[in-house]
């Protein structure tokens, strides 16, 4: 029984690494451009690498380097990054509903640390309860490539033309679409919500341009999630059945 569990864990880790590789490649391109910004702010390669290991959002890390370059106080930097990354609180709350009942505090804490937009997409698309071996392996590879991109950007970012770096940054959007499109093909409700999210985000950006990206994301996430919960509630019996079926298959 132990050998079977060990083989299953190894299979899930390899699957996580496979799914985390394209995410990591997108992260590397974006983090490379962030590394150039960090270099302009006087951040050392080691400092940039550590910052990327701990901060998993491009907007939050860009704000970090911009504030460092402006010689802002520590409390100002902490406040701005907290507000910018506030959407991850909502993602953590949503993901907690997919954690296995037997998952302890440390597993939940570790999973919360692993959340990025794309890793959250993998977790939501996973059938049944979230498997930590799969999710953590995908995150670790992606996070190392994110930090590696920042490091390389600080060391050699000025070698590439600015247009090339900007073009590389577009890759992460295509990667994110590749994560969310397959589940929407199987679920019309999810497809409608994704389309509504795009439309509402575009409208909010046009109508309220002064609203920050992080605040806009939080407001739209709460609003659309509340509407979906009222109009299309998920039955507990169906969720339990899917989870039990997944455990039996494993």
> Which residues, at least 6 apart from 198, have a Cβ–Cβ distance to it below 8 Å?
none
> Which residues, at least 6 apart from 41, have a Cβ–Cβ distance to it below 8 Å?
65, 66, 68, 69
> Which residues, at least 6 apart from 26, have a Cβ–Cβ distance to it below 8 Å?
118, 171, 172, 174, 175, 176
Confidence of residue 236 (pLDDT cuts 50, 70, 90): low
Predicted local distance difference test score (pLDDT) of residue 29: 82
Give pTM, 2 decimals: 0.66
Span 9-19, average pLDDT: 90
Q: What is the mean pLDDT of the chain?
A: 79
Distance CA 52, CA 44 (A): 12
Predicted local distance difference test score (pLDDT) of residue 169: 58
pLDDT tens sequence across 133-164: 899 999 999 999 999 999 998 887 667 666 66
Best-predicted range by mean pLDDT (171-185, 192-206, 222-236): 192-206
């Amino acid at each position: 029984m132990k050998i079977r569990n060990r083989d299953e864990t190894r299979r899930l880790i390899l699957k996580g690494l496979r799914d985390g590789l394209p995410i990591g490649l997108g992260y590397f391109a974006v983090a490379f451009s962030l590394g150039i910004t960090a270099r302009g702010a006087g951040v050392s390669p080691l400092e940039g690498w550590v910052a990327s290991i701990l901060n998993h959002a491009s907007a939050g890390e860009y704000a970090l380097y911009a504030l460092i370059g402006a010689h802002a106080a520590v409390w100002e930097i902490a406040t701005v990054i907290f507000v910018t990354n506030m959407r991850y609180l909502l993602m953590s709350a949503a993901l907690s509903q997919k954690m296995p009942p037997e998952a302890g505090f440390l597993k939940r804490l570790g999973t919360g640390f692993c959340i990025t937009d794309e890793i959250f997409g993998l977790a939501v698309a996973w059938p049944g309860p979230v498997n930590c071996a799969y999710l953590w392996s995908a995150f670790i590879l992606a996070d190392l490539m994110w930090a590696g991109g920042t490091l390389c950007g600080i060391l050699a970012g000025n070698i590439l033309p600015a247009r090339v770096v900007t073009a590389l940054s577009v890759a992460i959007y295509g990667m994110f679409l590749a994560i969310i499109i397959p589940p929407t093909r199987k679920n019309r409700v999810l497809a409608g919500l994704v389309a509504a999210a795009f439309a509402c985000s575009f409208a909010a950006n046009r109508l309220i341009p002064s609203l920050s990206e992080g605040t806009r994301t939080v407001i739209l996430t709460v609003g659309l999630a509340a509407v979906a919960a009222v109009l299309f509630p998920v039955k507990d019996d169906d969720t339990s059945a899917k989870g039990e079926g997944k455990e039996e298959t494993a």
